[in-house]
Amino acid sequence: MLTAYEVISLGRYPYTNWSGKLSAHDHSIIQSAIKLTGAEELIQRPLHELSDGERQKIMMARALAQEPHVMILDEVTAFLDLPRRVDFMQMLNKMARESGCAILLSTHDLDLALRAADQIWLLPKNGEFIVGSPESLVLNGAFEKAFASEGV
Protein backbone atom coordinates (compact mmCIF):
# COMPACT_ATOMS: atom_id res chain seq x y z
CA MET A 1 0.00 0.00 0.00
CA LEU A 2 1.26 3.49 -0.84
CA THR A 3 2.25 5.96 1.85
CA ALA A 4 0.87 9.47 1.76
CA TYR A 5 4.27 10.75 0.58
CA GLU A 6 4.27 8.31 -2.32
CA VAL A 7 0.78 9.43 -3.35
CA ILE A 8 1.84 13.08 -3.26
CA SER A 9 4.94 12.24 -5.31
CA LEU A 10 2.70 10.85 -8.07
CA GLY A 11 1.93 14.48 -8.89
CA ARG A 12 5.51 14.89 -10.13
CA TYR A 13 5.59 11.94 -12.54
CA PRO A 14 4.57 13.98 -15.60
CA TYR A 15 7.84 15.88 -15.10
CA THR A 16 10.13 12.85 -14.78
CA ASN A 17 12.07 11.06 -17.50
CA TRP A 18 11.20 7.60 -18.82
CA SER A 19 12.53 5.93 -15.65
CA GLY A 20 10.18 7.88 -13.39
CA LYS A 21 13.01 8.81 -11.00
CA LEU A 22 12.32 11.93 -8.96
CA SER A 23 15.02 14.60 -8.88
CA ALA A 24 16.05 16.73 -5.91
CA HIS A 25 13.96 19.52 -7.50
CA ASP A 26 10.91 17.21 -7.58
CA HIS A 27 11.39 16.33 -3.89
CA SER A 28 11.68 20.04 -3.07
CA ILE A 29 8.36 20.77 -4.81
CA ILE A 30 6.74 17.82 -3.00
CA GLN A 31 8.01 19.15 0.34
CA SER A 32 6.57 22.60 -0.48
CA ALA A 33 3.19 21.05 -1.30
CA ILE A 34 3.26 19.08 1.96
CA LYS A 35 4.06 22.22 3.93
CA LEU A 36 1.42 24.34 2.17
CA THR A 37 -1.28 21.78 2.92
CA GLY A 38 -0.11 21.14 6.47
CA ALA A 39 0.30 17.42 5.81
CA GLU A 40 3.70 16.96 7.47
CA GLU A 41 2.41 14.57 10.14
CA LEU A 42 0.67 12.35 7.57
CA ILE A 43 3.35 11.60 5.01
CA GLN A 44 4.66 8.32 6.47
CA ARG A 45 1.22 6.81 7.00
CA PRO A 46 -0.37 4.41 4.51
CA LEU A 47 -3.13 6.08 2.52
CA HIS A 48 -5.71 3.48 3.52
CA GLU A 49 -5.25 4.40 7.21
CA LEU A 50 -6.13 8.07 6.70
CA SER A 51 -9.50 9.63 7.49
CA ASP A 52 -11.51 11.30 4.70
CA GLY A 53 -10.21 14.73 5.72
CA GLU A 54 -6.60 13.55 5.89
CA ARG A 55 -6.91 11.80 2.54
CA GLN A 56 -8.39 14.93 0.99
CA LYS A 57 -5.41 16.93 2.30
CA ILE A 58 -3.00 14.45 0.70
CA MET A 59 -4.84 14.65 -2.63
CA MET A 60 -4.61 18.45 -2.52
CA ALA A 61 -0.87 18.19 -1.88
CA ARG A 62 -0.60 15.81 -4.84
CA ALA A 63 -2.43 18.28 -7.07
CA LEU A 64 -0.28 21.14 -5.82
CA ALA A 65 2.89 19.11 -6.53
CA GLN A 66 1.92 19.32 -10.22
CA GLU A 67 2.48 23.09 -10.03
CA PRO A 68 -0.86 24.03 -11.58
CA HIS A 69 -1.85 27.57 -12.51
CA VAL A 70 -5.54 26.77 -11.94
CA MET A 71 -7.31 24.12 -9.87
CA ILE A 72 -10.95 23.28 -10.52
CA LEU A 73 -12.51 21.50 -7.55
CA ASP A 74 -15.98 20.04 -7.14
CA GLU A 75 -17.52 19.80 -3.67
CA VAL A 76 -14.19 19.11 -1.96
CA THR A 77 -15.72 19.50 1.51
CA ALA A 78 -18.77 17.29 0.91
CA PHE A 79 -17.80 14.38 3.19
CA LEU A 80 -16.00 16.36 5.87
CA ASP A 81 -17.32 17.32 9.29
CA LEU A 82 -17.76 21.03 10.02
CA PRO A 83 -14.39 21.67 11.71
CA ARG A 84 -12.56 19.90 8.83
CA ARG A 85 -14.58 21.90 6.26
CA VAL A 86 -13.49 25.16 7.89
CA ASP A 87 -9.87 23.95 8.08
CA PHE A 88 -9.97 22.81 4.45
CA MET A 89 -11.33 26.12 3.14
CA GLN A 90 -8.67 28.00 5.13
CA MET A 91 -6.03 25.70 3.64
CA LEU A 92 -7.32 26.40 0.11
CA ASN A 93 -7.21 30.12 0.78
CA LYS A 94 -3.61 29.83 2.02
CA MET A 95 -2.67 27.67 -0.99
CA ALA A 96 -4.08 30.20 -3.43
CA ARG A 97 -2.27 33.09 -1.80
CA GLU A 98 1.10 31.40 -1.31
CA SER A 99 1.31 29.35 -4.50
CA GLY A 100 -0.29 31.86 -6.86
CA CYS A 101 -2.64 29.14 -8.11
CA ALA A 102 -6.21 30.22 -8.90
CA ILE A 103 -8.76 27.94 -7.26
CA LEU A 104 -12.24 27.60 -8.72
CA LEU A 105 -14.55 25.41 -6.68
CA SER A 106 -18.19 24.48 -6.49
CA THR A 107 -19.70 24.20 -3.05
CA HIS A 108 -22.97 24.10 -1.18
CA ASP A 109 -21.22 25.45 1.93
CA LEU A 110 -22.32 29.01 1.30
CA ASP A 111 -21.30 30.28 4.71
CA LEU A 112 -17.75 29.03 4.16
CA ALA A 113 -17.66 30.37 0.61
CA LEU A 114 -18.71 33.80 1.84
CA ARG A 115 -15.84 33.78 4.33
CA ALA A 116 -13.10 32.37 2.09
CA ALA A 117 -13.78 33.48 -1.49
CA ASP A 118 -12.36 36.51 -3.23
CA GLN A 119 -15.05 36.25 -5.93
CA ILE A 120 -18.29 34.28 -6.09
CA TRP A 121 -20.03 33.15 -9.25
CA LEU A 122 -23.72 32.81 -8.53
CA LEU A 123 -26.18 31.16 -10.89
CA PRO A 124 -29.78 31.57 -9.65
CA LYS A 125 -32.75 29.66 -11.09
CA ASN A 126 -33.50 32.41 -13.61
CA GLY A 127 -30.13 31.72 -15.24
CA GLU A 128 -28.74 35.22 -14.76
CA PHE A 129 -25.04 34.68 -14.03
CA ILE A 130 -23.82 37.06 -11.29
CA VAL A 131 -20.18 37.62 -10.30
CA GLY A 132 -18.94 39.68 -7.40
CA SER A 133 -17.24 39.82 -4.07
CA PRO A 134 -19.07 38.02 -1.27
CA GLU A 135 -19.81 41.33 0.43
CA SER A 136 -21.25 42.99 -2.68
CA LEU A 137 -23.47 39.98 -3.50
CA VAL A 138 -24.90 40.01 0.01
CA LEU A 139 -25.37 43.78 0.14
CA ASN A 140 -26.99 44.06 -3.29
CA GLY A 141 -29.48 41.28 -2.47
CA ALA A 142 -28.21 38.74 -5.02
CA PHE A 143 -27.92 35.98 -2.42
CA GLU A 144 -31.33 36.73 -0.99
CA LYS A 145 -32.91 36.53 -4.47
CA ALA A 146 -31.00 33.41 -5.49
CA PHE A 147 -31.97 31.42 -2.41
CA ALA A 148 -35.41 32.85 -1.78
CA SER A 149 -37.80 30.18 -0.60
CA GLU A 150 -40.32 29.70 2.13
CA GLY A 151 -38.57 29.47 5.47
CA VAL A 152 -35.23 30.80 4.25
Query: How do residues 85-141 score in pLDDT, each as one tens digit?
Result: 999 999 999 899 998 999 999 998 888 889 889 999 988 887 788 999 999 999 998
Phi, psi of 81, deg, nearest 5: -75, 170
What does the alpha-carbon distance between residue 151 and residue 42 come to, in Å, rounded to a whole number? 43
pLDDT tens column, 140-151:
988 888 888 776
**Residue 105: predicted pLDDT:** 93
pLDDT on residue 152:
61
What is the model's pLDDT at position 120?
93
Indicate whether 17 pLDDT > 80: yes
Counting every residue written for the chain, the total comes to 152
Instruction: Look up the CATH number of domain 4-118.
Output: 3.40.50.300
pLDDT value of residue 52: 87
Between CA 4 and CA 24 the distance in angstroms is 18
Q: At what angle do helices 24-37 and 82-99 cross, to 10 degrees?
A: 130
Q: 39-82, pLDDT tens digit by residue?
A: 999 999 999 999 988 999 999 999 999 999 999 999 998 888 88
Query: Contact at 8 Å (CB) between 116 and 124?
Result: no
